[in-house]
Structure 1
Amino acid sequence: MKRRAAREKAFQALFQVNNSEIDIEEAIQHVIEEPVVDAFMHDLVHGVANHQSEIDQWISDNLVNWTFSRLPKVEKTVLRMAAYEIKYNEDVPSQVAINEAVELAKIFGEEESGKFVNGVLSKMI
């Protein structure tokens, strides 16, 4: 699975986990078509879940005129994933993580989501 597709699947799984009573492994199984889970996607989903409190604080510290609790669910999930990649995944350059997050926000969010995500993440690096 290509990394862009893995990020999309990771987003879908994390969105389910954060907005319902589903557990991580069940969410992953809902979004993949293959019986084998992509290693990058698995790392992304579990990494975000395992570091969520630190990631949320880091995002919160970099918001301007917003509170973390007010963030829309799509943007919150995208920001968590990108923040994880920037802070914990040394294989992914920060600019790549930001570009991929902006693309996810455009796909799953509102019209201005990409710009918002880009602004927050740019402030974080």
Structure 2
Amino acid sequence: MNRHQAREKAFQMLFQLELNKRELPDALKDNEGNALQDPFLMKLIEGVTAHKEEIDSLIASHLENWSFDRLAIAEKTILRIAVYEMRHMEDIPTNVSINEAVELANKYGDQKSGKFVNGVLSKF
């Protein structure tokens, strides 16, 4: 699995956690298989989960005329992954994290999601 695929899988799992208000260990049991063998995928999932409060606070501080609670789950999840990468994974260039987040937003969000995600992340 390449990193792009791992990000997409991480997005899907974190989205489900948020949507269903589940805990990570329960979700991991439901998703056992080869995908969870990928170290990058697991680092994203576990890192975003472990630093969720810190990440959410950072995102909220970079929103203009918008509250964090009003964000759709897709955008919230995508922003969390990108901010985690930007803050905790020094081997990934910031522009790569932003580009990957915009791609996910364009795929899973609405028509304006990519521009919104890009705008928020460009402030970091």
* TM > 0.5: yes
- Quote the sequence identity (%): 49
Give the aligned partner of residue 109 of structure 1: 109
SS at match of 1:7: helix
Quote how far apart the aligned CAs of 1:26 are. Answer: 4.0
SS at match of 2:101: helix
Alignment of 1:1-125 (within 5 A): 1-28=1-28, 30=30, 34=34, 36-124=36-124
CA contact (8 A) 2:36 2:42 kept: no
Name segments (4+ residues, structure 1) moved above 4 Å: 28-33
Matches of 1:101 and 1:67, distance apart in 2: 20
- State the Cα deviation string for residues 67-111 of structure 1 (Å, max 9, x = none): 000011100000000000000001111000000000000111101
> What are the ranges of 5 or more consecutive residues in structure 2 without an aligned counterpart?
none
Matches of 1:77 and 1:51, distance apart in 2: 13
Amino acid at match of 2:101: A
Q: What's the Cα RMSD here?
A: 1.6
SS at match of 2:123: helix
> What are the ranges of 5 or more consecutive residues in structure 1 without an aligned counterpart?
none
Amino acid at match of 2:20: S
Amino acid at match of 1:86: M
Matches of 2:93 and 2:115, distance apart in 1: 19
Quote how far apart the aligned CAs of 1:112 are. Answer: 0.8
CA contact (8 A) 1:9 1:32 kept: no
Change (3 A) 1:47 1:36: closer
Matches of 1:47 and 1:73, distance apart in 2: 18
TM-score normalized by structure 2? 0.92
SS at match of 1:123: coil
TM-score normalized by structure 1? 0.92
Q: How many residues align?
A: 124
- State the Cα deviation string for residues 17-65 of structure 1 (Å, max 9, x = none): 1111433244346557526521000000000000000000000000001
Matches of 1:107 and 1:13, distance apart in 2: 16
